[in-house]
Every structure is written in structure tokens, then in C-alpha cells.
Amino acid sequence: MPTLQVSLTFFGAAALLALAPGPDIIFVIAQSASSGRRTGFAVLSGLLTGVLGHTLAVALGLAALLAASAAALTVLKGLGAAYLLYLAWGAWNAGTLQEDAAASSSGMNGAARQPWLRLMARGVLMNLSNPKVLLFFLAFLPQFVQPAQGPAAMQIVWFGLLFIAASGLVFGCAVLLADALRKHLMQSARVQRGLNRCAALVFAGFALHLIFFASGRSPAA
């Protein structure tokens, strides 16, 4: 296994990378601010499950195969961009918290009442459909592997778990902060609509970047 010093260095780097703006953290913040911490943590659990999937793919060598196939990479990028555009459309047309509360009281299912597994699945799908995360893992994790410390696959899994822990810590704080701000957002429908529209533009921007400019060498978490 990697040494403690290497593990701590990697954990710190992963935490800093988790703070970088990207569709995952923006998605978590937007869901938490609009629907509360339950929704935020459900989505977060899905995103982290997706990261585990990327970790196992790199450890098993699947990422290298995907990176070598231009067609497969193009398809995955297209799916990721399509899902981001879907999120953009949903955010642009999202109602205010007051409207959601009224809908819930009249018997309609608001976002906060969606089953945990459904919300988690949204996070998994969003993370796994983003090829930049997979290719980033392929480029980032192996740099910390030390041949003298054991099998490379086991070390990559260890670093993947550390990345999940660091991302979970950062994203979890973001969920709690967004949930706290949600109480203030309840008082202004105009601010809520503005934030929804901003989130929609950000999602659309990431989708266009993924289609036209993504090189696969930077993190998107």
C-alpha cells in the first residue's frame, strides 16, 4: 500500500480538485438549494458511486481501452453533453420553492419527495456519462502509484477511495451550506428564478465545452 505521506498528499490534492468548479459540484449545490439536504446527499451518494465506477475501470484497465477508441469516447461525450442539456432545460423551467411547496401540498410529487434511489441514480448517471472524469482518473491516479508498494491495481483502488472521501467531505459541506441558504431563498421568488436560470446556463456551457473543447485532461468533479 502507498505510504502515509503519499496518501495524505493525494488526499489534499483531491480535496483541492473537488473545490474546482464543475458540473458535479454545481449539480449538488443546485439540488440542495432547491430541494434541501436530503436531495443533496442523495445526489452526492450517486456521484460518489460513479467515482467508484471510474476507479474500478481504471484499475481494471478499461479506461485505457476507452481512451484508445475514438468512436466510444465520442459516444460517451455525446451522452454526457445530452444529459447536461437535459439538466439545463430542467433548471431553466424549474419552479420556485413556494411553487414546489404548493404543488406538494396539493398532492404532487416535488423534487424533495423523490425516492432516494432515483435521486442517487441521477448522480450516478451524470458522473459516469462524463468521459472527462474517467480520462482524468487515467491520467491522475497512476502518478501516485509506487511500484515498490504493491500491485498497481490495488493502489489505484486505494487512491480512488481517498478521492471519494475527499470529494464527499467537500461536497458534503457544500450540501449543508446550500441547505442553510435555502431558508433565505424561500423569501425571494425572483432570486430563486435567477439562480435556476444561472444554473441552466452553467449546465449548457459545460455541455458545449464537453462537445467542442473537452480534451479529457482536467477534472470535472
pLDDT in tens, 173-215: 999 998 888 777 666 667 667 767 777 787 787 778 767 765 4
Q: How far apart are CA 201 and CA 33, in angstroms?
A: 17
pLDDT-derived band of residue 110, with 50, 70 and 90 as boundaries? very low
Contact 174, 29 (CB under 8 A): yes
Domain spans of the chain, in order of start: 22-212
Stated pTM of the model: 0.68
pLDDT on residue 134: 72
Using DSSP, state whether 80 is helix, strand or coil. Answer: helix
Q: How confident is the model at residue 165 (pLDDT cuts 50, 70, 90)?
A: very high
Backbone dihedral angles phi then psi of residue 145, each to the nearest 5 degrees: -75, 130
Q: Which of 86-90, 104-108, 116-120, 171-175 has the lowest mean pLDDT?
A: 104-108
Longest dimension (CA), the chain: 63
Helix 70-92 with 189-212: angle, nearest 10 deg? 170
b/e burial code for range 81-102 (CB count within 10 A of at least 16 → b): bebbbebbeebbebbbbeebee
Indicate if the pLDDT at residue 107 is higher than 60.
no
Burial class (CB in 10 A: 0-12, 13-18, 19+), 46: buried
Least confident of 6-10, 44-48, 201-205: 201-205
Q: How far is CA 21 from CA 4, 17, 85, 156, 157, in A?
A: 28, 9, 18, 24, 25
- 14-28, 52-66, 94-108, 177-191: the lowest-pLDDT one: 94-108
Whole-number Å distance between alpha carbons of 114 and 130 = 24
pLDDT in tens, 89-102: 877 876 655 554 44
